[in-house]
A and B are shown apart, each in its own frame.
Chain A
Amino acid sequence: MTRLECPNPVCDAPMSTCNLGRTRLSECPHWQHVTGPADETQDAVTEPVLPWIGDPLGELDLEIVTARSSPFLIGLVGGHDAGKTTLLTSLYILLWQGRFLARYSFAGSYTLRGWEGLAHALSWSPGQPPRFPAHTSRTSGRTPGLLHLALRQDERTLRDVLLTDAPGEWFETWAVDRSAPGAEGARWTFRHARAFVLVIDSEALAGPRRGLARQQLVALVRRMGDEIARRRVAIVWAKSDRSVSEGIREVIRQAISAAFPDHREFRVSVYPDPESSEEPGSGFLEVFDWLLEPSMLRVASPMPAPVNRSDAFLAFRGE
């Protein structure tokens, strides 16, 4: 018997979840075209199938979150190896260890496997720069994978927060040429994010190629300034155990002040700071405490609803 596949072109059932969100495939109108209702041969695939798999969400997976709330998307921006991955990984590990955000409880995540993968990938590759494990989110390949946190403010208020997981190369390309084909993911981020984290690689700015690093960073900041409007930007000096010269720091600060009306600087490092009495890692949490201040979350903005424009039936979102 040939394996049954869903005839819906944007649906990968039974390999993945039903695109229309049916927990039982037998209830999906597309699937029924193939098998007919109540077909005995489909025993295995009539079992409830979950609408999330735990990996980072792609554009087509977003419905599971947008169906219940207007999520707050935070775009992480920075060149490759700047420290975006370490920032996300550290956030998760700190939550895991019982260090919490100031105003929110952890109320779950649809991307736990993605979060777990960050921590394990980090620990399995000694000496190599941390890498995101390959994720299987269903995307066009040109939008960032999204990590999800459900945060509870009080008994009645739940906030869904999405964090972008994007290769630094996208932003490097975008800083040079906004409309370049390789920059689509960056453009998507700037279109939809409600706040940003700019991750600055202190190590690169202190190293032998610091002149180039400074130049690239300033170009990125200026490009962001064109797009940011009044959206909040957390400036994160990552790897802050490396010290950057005052001259370079000042140039960058000036560019930032000119570009971002609402920003704040943070220093983070995975290494404990010998001069600070704070627990190591506090900086990572403070970044998100600031970005997720309740006043920030009140304004709703629409998330993209994935639509297949070439098929009038599939374009209908009204079921």
Chain B
Amino acid sequence: MAEPATSHSVLLVGGHDTGKTHYGGQLLGRLQLDKGTLRLRGTPETLAPFQKVLDRLAQGRAADHTPTETYEEIVLPLATPSGPVDVVWPDYGGEQVRQVLDQRRVSEEWADRIAQSNAWILFVRPTALQTRDDVFTRPLHEISQGAGPPSPSGGWSSQAWFVELLQIFRHIRRTGVLEAARRPSLVIILSCWDEVDRDNQKLGPPALLAKLMPLFANFVHASWVEGSWTVFGLSSLGKPLSDKEGSEDEQYIEQGPESFGYVVHPDGTQSPDLTAPLEWLFSRAL
């Protein structure tokens, strides 16, 4: 008899092009190997987009990054030591998240997902941060002399964007603000870790977050109880891959996508176990 629907739900959030889709594909690949403590519950059809990614990786190519590519919500149903858990990739498309910030409206579907989720995984791509934040990183006297170009993101620096996003999510979930929260648990994933320069990589994920996004890191420190949140580094692919025909990666073809990709634990150690961030969440008893 099939297990009833779970009450544990992990919501995966991040802007466009932060690597969530590749993570989904690689995660599926790892789960299909059936070696770890996490298992897939059944093989639902909604995982087709991730299977497509995996098939593409097996051919040595990255998945398409066309902005028009969308998918409906994807749910990865897992069996974990804590019981059944659904990991949710909400409707793709940076415009969904932008709509939340700009139009101040949240669709019913998003609101339900946010309200019901016990844990959030937030994808942040470190190398995508700098271009939006130029004006803030200058010395004060340069800023007041008008040294900056107009912001390409329409007025939100990356840090403010992430703070606002989490504020909105907490509001919808009715997570009170007066005290630091234990729930939902929060994993911040610094994605495309292989793009980060060596010196920054050496800092390890929590220190790198604090260096690149001090205001945001301060906000999370202030708003979550210690132990309820953490930072991982992630490279789903392990190396740059092209999505173009004719530029296939031989190693991927020979060794398979399951031989690539790694996470960086909060303490700085690296491992090929892409399920580690999820296991961190589940070990905290959602």
Contact = CB atoms under 8 A, between A and B. Distances in A.
Contact of B160 (A105, A112, A123, A125): A112
A174 B284 CA distance: 58
A130 interface: yes
Residue among A53, A107, A127 with most chain B CB within 10 A: A107
Contact of A122 (B108, B111, B146, B151): B146
Contacts of B241: none
B272 to A, nearest CB: 33
B12 interface: no
B180 A152 contact: yes
A90 interface: yes
Interface in B100-121: 104-108, 111
B195 to A, nearest CB: 22
B219 A108 contact: yes
Contact of B104 (A49, A94, A158): A49
A293 interface: no
Interface string A251-293: 0000000000000000001111000000011000000000000
A113 B155 contact: yes
Nearest to A271: B141
A124 B104 contact: no
A110 B164 CA distance: 8
B7 to A, nearest CB: 21
A156 B180 CA distance: 7
A95 B215 contact: yes
B280 interface: no
B240 interface: no
Residue among B163, B179, B221, B222 with most chain A CB within 10 A: B222
A117 interface: yes
A116 B218 contact: no
Contact of B214 (A69, A97, A124, A126): A97
Contacts of A51: 171
Given A50-B104, A106-B222, A116-B155, A126 B136 contact: no
B159 interface: yes
B225 A97 contact: no
- The size class of the interface chain A forms with chain B is 35 or more
B148 interface: yes
Contacts, number: 140
Interface of A is mostly: loop
Contact of B146 (A44, A117, A124): A124
A105 B218 CA distance: 6
Interface string B130-154: 0000011101110111111011000
Given A106-B219, A115-B160, A68 B144 contact: no
A93 B137 CA distance: 9
Given A93-B143, A108-B167, A124-B146, A47 B111 contact: yes
A123 B147 CA distance: 6
A47 B105 contact: yes
Contacts of A280: 139-141
Interface string B149-188: 0110001110110011001100110000111100000000
Contacts of B145: 126-127
B105 A126 contact: no
B135 A123 contact: yes
Nearest to A100: B218
A146 to B, nearest CB: 17
Contact of A125 (B146, B167, B210): B146
Contact of A107 (B135, B157, B210, B223): B223
B140 A93 contact: yes
Given A68-B178, A105-B221, A96 B148 contact: no
A108 B223 contact: yes
A257 to B, nearest CB: 30
A119 B153 CA distance: 14
Contacts of B143: 89, 93, 119, 122-123, 270
A54 interface: yes
User: A-B pairs with the 4 shortest C-beta distances?
Assistant: A126-B146, A98-B214, A123-B148, A105-B222
6 contacts: A50-B106, A100-B218, A112-B164, A122-B143, A125-B146, A158-B179
Interface of A: 17, 23, 44, 46-51, 53-54, 68-69, 86, 89-90, 93-98, 100, 105-110, 112-113, 115-117, 119-120, 122-128, 130, 150, 152, 155-156, 158, 269-272, 280-281
Given A106-B218, A152-B222, A270-B144, 11 more contacts: A50-B171, A51-B171, A89-B144, A95-B218, A97-B214, A105-B221, A106-B215, A116-B155, A124-B146, A126-B146, A271-B141
